[in-house]
Structure 1
């Protein structure tokens, strides 16, 4: 007896959906499509000598479809593609004639996010120059180093950050012209004729040619100037455009700094490729984030690091007239970025009503990336995903290899001297294959810094003469094709002969209901080998009570193996505390590691207690240690016992 169609069709559809989910075929197809789109654009750009993305802006500005479409929204002002193009020509001709900027010259830009940032950026591309994006938070030695590393003769400065460019930054750079882009200067640039430089000024013969310089965060030293090639701008923008479904009437909002590649390439360049709209915030603030999203009617938002955790930590916005909770009063359907921890993944979706999380893994200088687009519970917390088809292709281009934690380098077989791939589910350092005869094709390195560039290249990994890029990140890939972040090499520490992943411990600690943020790291202790775990924690109250401390101790004992449990806590008064995050809201550990756990005496002022003992030192209780079944204050007396060898952990 034949089965009726009303029964067969739903069953067949359900079976196909199941097979697609298990195999990841449609997801793989989209990944492959995004790479193919980038390849076509690069080849066409090289063939026509239009790989400079100024030409894409020009094409949109002159097309009937896009000319009058909104390209940029900033602080209540909207600029179409045609208006942005006009400004790029005017500003470019002004910079070229006033400061004698030539094609291929590098010009430093020290700007906060703004419409002017975008106009100056594309103005430099319009005249064939290369922007060097400076972190506007830098001052003194670090700022001077970045400007000197760019070998520039001109540094344009946002008036809002001009106070950071003091004598300490400029005194050893007499050859650099520091120009504050005041409203008067901007008016002068705007009044300049929109003269288009000849095509020869923008000529490029390789996708590996420099488009701009973007600096590393400098958490372990002075920032390095990473060369961002035209190929990366096109591939990165194309992949983000395709995987996120950009185009049409979508509006991407970012307040992540444009001096970082996440915002400049994956948000703004993707917007340009898609012919859609970029909404821009000056800088991140929990007070203005959702107001900006509502005002711009953003359909997508970008995050980096702990951005979404900080939004969760902020109290709900309430409509002053109706008293309505505004958490879900927006048009945002997708949040994309990198660094969203699993412990807040679902909380973000639930509180703010966001349907889809698009987590990616990449680095400014890295030749590879990973993406995980998740609209359900599948792959929660993963930084990448691929099915059998894409894995078949990418397995020759990327590898996870075993790490020797004594040397913080990939482990090598003592006989063959080659590295070894890890098994599914095991952690390993992510490596990306480079063409051995010309690594510059995929990895352009750090500008005028061959030693730093060469330190990222690994040779003779699986075969004599091969070349691979070192990410410095430990990832693990499960049998289902999901990739998870384990730790940064150097952050992982050894305790009791075991390797401890700070990211995994932070996740476990962060799941406690009273913990708003946890930053885990290893600290050296007297008379102990390795490093003991310490967690810098922001609780939901400034000072935790005994019940909270005991509950946290029970939680870590239930959640973590003995060697991975944080033995120390350092209280942090607020999430994202100053000095403990980068400009892109990523946690820093170096200063916390250096501080260790030796208690510091705090100075009591007369105004605080009225005793007249101004300047008297007393012990603080900002550090706790795990003792028995709870965490208790760790003070000078306990430190002396540890230092004297009378306590063994």
Structure 2
């Protein structure tokens, strides 16, 4: 007979092997997230409590959480009970003062603050639908977003009220603008808290619209994506379960609340768990870690290039002792999307972060992926799944081959059907939809049928089927890891080869002198395709010959010859071409090309004889005259 200790040790070793071999822990997480979502959505729908307002009410009326801090903001703390009472007061003010009724859409143009959350949940409390407006928008873009919401009322933060110009008001004559000044806020707080009947919040279907969140608008005007009640639950489950959140956690986010990352994945996950959310007004490398320490945050949220900017920022030192404060915090999990492989380890090591929880999801998307990573095996992956969860995902999502010329899914000339990409290959990520009613999985864009239909592809693998197009090119390897390759439209062709901007920027980001690299393709006179250009930020004051030669050598070593950028544009500081969510913008840079007249004072260089040398007006003129062949 085998001794009990030996048998136990053998069982543990066997379990560890099976987990490593088949990623069973990731299977377990997958089923926890999906199971919890289905259970809570079903239960809430059956009880007609699918409106997430009821989660706030539950925590506020529960003696164990009522007096617990829900929101921390700029030194102030708001308990669940206090938040609930304020929400009821603001709801009554919106209902009585402005006539807001159930199912009305109300635009919310606000910076991050506790007031944003109060107004947001106040609208849910009276059955209305908030439309989150990017508070950075002005002029035509702001007018477009307000008009697209169909709202008759816009509640505006006094800090951004100057963007609501007379031109904007005249373009929207039927819209009322309520600037939430201190006097107006006092009026709203003075209302009696009214808990309106459940009937105003009734929803017959879990996929009913809960709110509108706009796309970034990097390729045109922003579009309002409909976020369903069920998707709010899914976001809360994905964050809270995936990050292993518990009652005592504090999640810090300074990402914009008008975006689904901070609002749905951040605030709603903390609310569901009965945890605390600490809000930063805006992202700044100078205030990020101070606010994290002051609020005793245990989970931090990032989006886009946030972690890069934190990593390249100078270390923060104690003003008295001179001690490096990089690891003086309680954070155990960094949660978000867009952490690039070239920054992944640097960020973890510098700040002592135990776990990275990378999430791949789009506001309007029909599916999400995630990767909980504590070691180098999961580094850089946007998704990671085990034997069983991977098989299930493979039934409802896949990668399809793209046509190099059209950037559309390739179709067989004989059958007209698409082709799946084999394991290890790259292709567009698509998600299966119920062909007879795609709306159950993809609600689309509010009031924009054309944009909605453009994301749906039919007759993909068999006649009559329907699939959601993500617009993202991914790679799924044999170990259940999923990697981001590029966004369709960002990949460009040069010398008859496809160049991934993400691959090039990641390779350049490994050079010690590079703080940020934004790669894109530019059209050149008398040349086919698009030539590679990188808008780059260096950690040295001058781009001297040695640094430029080193960059060129590094690029040649790390990249195929055709992918080495031919042009370099030197930017002065990180984040100059970013959205409010720290995602790199390429459109303006593409349009400016490499014409020195459009470079806005930035130094330009081009690759000649193995190094980067200055590129000036005479060189551009030679290109225009066809005197240069690259």
For 1:414 and 1:621, locate their aligned partners in 2 and report how far apart those are by CA, in whole Å.
Answer: 47
For 1:508 and 1:214, locate their aligned partners in 2 and report how far apart those are by CA, in whole Å.
Answer: 33
Assess if the C-alpha contact under 8 Å between 1:215 and 1:225 holds in 2: yes
Quote the residue 1:648 is aligned against: 629
For 1:6 and 1:206, locate their aligned partners in 2 and report how far apart those are by CA, in whole Å.
Answer: 54
Q: Deviations over 1:466-507 (max 9, x none)?
A: 111100000000110100000000000001111100000100
Quote the residue 1:595 is aligned against: 592
For 1:345 and 1:290, locate their aligned partners in 2 and report how far apart those are by CA, in whole Å.
Answer: 18
Quote the residue 1:608 is aligned against: none
Matching of residue 247 in structure 1 with residue 246 in structure 2 = yes
Measured on the aligned residues, the alpha-carbon RMSD in Å equals: 1.3
Quote the residue 1:388 is aligned against: 387
For 1:406 and 1:110, locate their aligned partners in 2 and report how far apart those are by CA, in whole Å.
Answer: 41
| Structure 1 residues 531 and 231, CA gap change in structure 2 (3 angstroms) | same
Matching of residue 463 in structure 1 with residue 462 in structure 2 = yes
Quote the residue 1:318 is aligned against: 317
Quote the residue 2:441 is aligned against: 442
Quote the residue 1:220 is aligned against: 219
Assess if the C-alpha contact under 8 Å between 1:621 and 1:633 holds in 2: no
Matching of residue 586 in structure 1 with residue 574 in structure 2 = no
State the aligned residue count: 630
Shift in Å, 1:3: 6.9
Assess if the C-alpha contact under 8 Å between 2:491 and 2:498 holds in 1: yes
For 1:360 and 1:57, locate their aligned partners in 2 and report how far apart those are by CA, in whole Å.
Answer: 25
Shift in Å, 1:19: 2.0
Runs (4 or more) in structure 1 with deviation over 3 Å come to 2-12
Quote the residue 2:84 is aligned against: 85
Which runs of 5 or more residues in structure 1 are unaligned? 604-619
For 2:599 and 2:343, locate their aligned partners in 1 and report how far apart those are by CA, in whole Å.
Answer: 34
SS at match of 2:457: strand
Shift in Å, 1:418: 0.7
Quote the residue 1:477 is aligned against: 476
Q: Deviations over 1:602-632 (max 9, x none)?
A: 99xxxxxxxxxxxxxxxx6711111112110
Shift in Å, 1:640: 2.2
TM value normalised by structure 2: 0.98
Quote the residue 1:295 is aligned against: 294
For 2:21 and 2:266, locate their aligned partners in 1 and report how far apart those are by CA, in whole Å.
Answer: 30
Shift in Å, 1:11: 5.0
Assess if the C-alpha contact under 8 Å between 2:250 and 2:275 holds in 1: yes
Shift in Å, 1:178: 0.5
Quote the residue 1:616 is aligned against: none
Which runs of 5 or more residues in structure 2 are unaligned? none
SS at match of 1:395: helix
Assess if the C-alpha contact under 8 Å between 2:491 and 2:500 holds in 1: yes
Deviates more, 1:594-603 or 1:223-232: 594-603
Q: Deviations over 1:181-201 (max 9, x none)?
A: 011111111111011111110
Q: How does 1:516-527 map to 2 (within 5 A)?
A: 516-527=515-526
Quote the residue 2:358 is aligned against: 359
SS at match of 2:83: helix
Quote the residue 1:307 is aligned against: 306
For 2:131 and 2:515, locate their aligned partners in 1 and report how far apart those are by CA, in whole Å.
Answer: 36
Q: How does 1:94-109 map to 2 (within 5 A)?
A: 94-109=93-108
Quote the residue 2:187 is aligned against: 188
Assess if the C-alpha contact under 8 Å between 2:209 and 2:228 holds in 1: yes
Assess if the C-alpha contact under 8 Å between 1:621 and 1:634 holds in 2: no
Q: How does 1:262-411 map to 2 (within 5 A)?
A: 262-411=261-410
For 2:435 and 2:541, locate their aligned partners in 1 and report how far apart those are by CA, in whole Å.
Answer: 54
For 2:149 and 2:380, locate their aligned partners in 1 and report how far apart those are by CA, in whole Å.
Answer: 37
Q: How does 1:164-203 map to 2 (within 5 A)?
A: 164-203=163-202
For 2:317 and 2:167, locate their aligned partners in 1 and report how far apart those are by CA, in whole Å.
Answer: 45
For 1:382 and 1:169, locate their aligned partners in 2 and report how far apart those are by CA, in whole Å.
Answer: 43
| Structure 1 residues 601 and 151, CA gap change in structure 2 (3 angstroms) | closer
For 1:344 and 1:92, locate their aligned partners in 2 and report how far apart those are by CA, in whole Å.
Answer: 44
Assess if the C-alpha contact under 8 Å between 1:327 and 1:351 holds in 2: yes
For 1:147 and 1:316, locate their aligned partners in 2 and report how far apart those are by CA, in whole Å.
Answer: 41
SS at match of 1:396: helix
Matching of residue 136 in structure 1 with residue 120 in structure 2 = no
Shift in Å, 1:44: 1.0
